[in-house]
Amino acid sequence: MNRIDLSTDYLGLRLSSPLVASASPLSRSLDTAKRLEDAGAGAIVMYSLFEEELHHQEEAASRFLINAGIGHGEADSFLPFGSSYRHGLDQYLEQLAALKRTLDIPVIASLNGTSLDGWVDHGQWLEEAGADALELNVYYLCADPNESGAGVEERYLELLRALRKQVSVPISMKLSPYFSGLAHFVACLEQAGADGVVLFNRFYQPDIDLDNLQVTSQLTWSRSADIQLPLRWVALLYGKVGLSLATTSGVHTADDALKLILAGADVTQLCSVLLEKGPGHLATIQQNMIAWLDRNEYRSIADVKGYLSRERCADPGIFDRSNYLALLDNYSRAKGVRR
Ligand SMILES: Cc1cc2nc3c(=O)[nH]c(=O)nc-3n(C[C@H](O)[C@H](O)[C@H](O)COP(=O)(O)O)c2cc1C
């Protein structure tokens, strides 16, 4: 098999592979992160630093100041500022710096939160600790009848602008699919300084346990079918916006990753499959991708990227509403199902 060039550009970074390890606990261990690199990951996104952890740090700081002010001079021996206490931000910065020392591939730090009260300003610390880029995950569920879609978009843009002011490294926005004018919003993000988007955040949905009459919530692995929503949107956005396109959700096999790249993704992120099968499985997916490219006489990722995007495929309508009507027209009942 001749050598096939898997390299791709993402957020202005040259990656050796379009397979990127998604934000997950896998980056909490240096050994696991190294195994991801050895398996061929093009970059690694760290688990998120959550807004709540940053607020916790601020609360702890003000508790310390208040206590110090009322005369507990010995406070620094038991308040959480001694060397034994490592708050969220410190821990995160240490792990980021350690990942940078251990790995040659780019390390993308991740910030996760929703409020507009200044937490993204901490992004500058991540840049200083060596992050090659930042991923901003605004995990925001708008259930307030008084908040409009325009208001939600403005919240995202405001957070992005605030972070953009703090850092010069590339920023990608990890989005949910719930935007009424997604293409326009992505263009607004680009104008506001985003270098890429990650499509789409996977929301973990609540359920109801009928036996115990309780609302439950649990993490479930994605399935390959989950690539279809990001696939459509990457195909629609490819060639229309200038920023990098990443997908997350549902990549379990080489076929999944190839489909997303054919639709126009610069990179695809993997999480569930790596948690299920271990970091080394990334190498199997990569080898199978290479085998497919070789069998079909492609020499590089660049040869296939966007080849079946809406802009370039033979039947662009398939990504649009018109295809919906055609599908309904051609629907035939399963054998044995009565009218
Ligand atoms: C255990 C677990 C932890 C995760 N932690 C984060 C996180 O810290 N930040 C984040 O943006 N996404 C996080 N995610 C979401 C993943 O990065 C990914 O976007 C999602 O699981 C969809 O990809 P998949 O189908 O490959 O699992 C987490 C997912 C799982 C299962």
Confidence of residue 83 (pLDDT cuts 50, 70, 90): very low
The closest residue, in CA terms, to atom 29 on ligand 1 is: 24
Atom from ligand 1 closest to the CA of residue 271: 26
pLDDT of residue 117: 85
pLDDT of residue 322: 63
The closest residue, in CA terms, to atom 17 on ligand 1 is: 23
Percent of all residues in the chain with a pLDDT value above 90, rounded to a whole number? 74
Higher pLDDT: 206 or 326? It is: 206
111 in Cβ contact with 134 (< 8 Å): yes
Please state the rounded mean pLDDT for residues 161-177.
Answer: 97
Higher pLDDT: 321 or 230? It is: 230
What's the predicted TM-score (pTM) here? 0.90
201 in Cβ contact with 233 (< 8 Å): no
Please state the rounded mean pLDDT for residues 25-43.
Answer: 98
**pLDDT by residue (tens digit) across 327-336?**
777 777 666 6
**pLDDT by residue (tens digit) across 274-294?**
999 999 999 999 999 999 999
pLDDT of residue 325: 73
Q: Does position 118 have pLDDT exceeding 90, yes or no?
A: no
CA-to-CA distance for 339 and 317, rounded, in angstroms?
Answer: 30
pLDDT of residue 70: 39
Nearest alpha carbon to residue 252 among 232, 219, 276 = 276
**pLDDT by residue (tens digit) across 215-259?**
998 888 999 999 999 999 999 999 999 999 999 999 999 999 999
Ligand 1 pocket mutation pick from 36, 271, 276 by most atoms within 8 angstroms of CB? 271
pLDDT of residue 163: 96
Q: Does position 198 have pLDDT exceeding 90, yes or no?
A: yes
Ligand 1 pocket mutation pick from 28, 176, 202 by most atoms within 8 angstroms of CB? 202
Q: In this predicted structure, which of 16-25, 87-96, 250-259, 279-288 has the lowest mean pLDDT?
A: 87-96
Please state the separation of Cα 216 from the chain's center in Å. 25
pLDDT of residue 177: 93
Provide the 10 A C-beta neighbour count for residue 265.
34
Is 248 close to ligand 1, i.e. is its CB under 6 Å away?
Answer: yes
For residue 97, how many C-alpha atoms fall within 13 Å in the half-sphere facing its CB?
9
Strands 206-209 and 107-112: unpaired
> CA triplet 182, 133, 192: central angle to 5 degrees?
40
> CA triplet 92, 98, 99: central angle to 5 degrees?
90
Please state the rounded mean pLDDT for residues 45-53.
Answer: 92
Residue for token digits 């908040």? Answer: 147
d(CA 82, ligand 1 centre) in Å: 32
23 in Cβ contact with 258 (< 8 Å): no
- Is residue 338 packed enough to be buried (19+ CB in 10 Å), middle (13-18) or exposed (0-12)? exposed
Higher pLDDT: 78 or 59? It is: 59
Confidence of residue 63 (pLDDT cuts 50, 70, 90): low
Mean pLDDT (the chain, rounded) = 89
pLDDT of residue 194: 98
pLDDT of residue 320: 84
Nearest alpha carbon to residue 220 among 199, 204, 208, 201 = 204
Please state the rounded mean pLDDT for residues 173-182.
Answer: 95
Higher pLDDT: 324 or 186? It is: 186
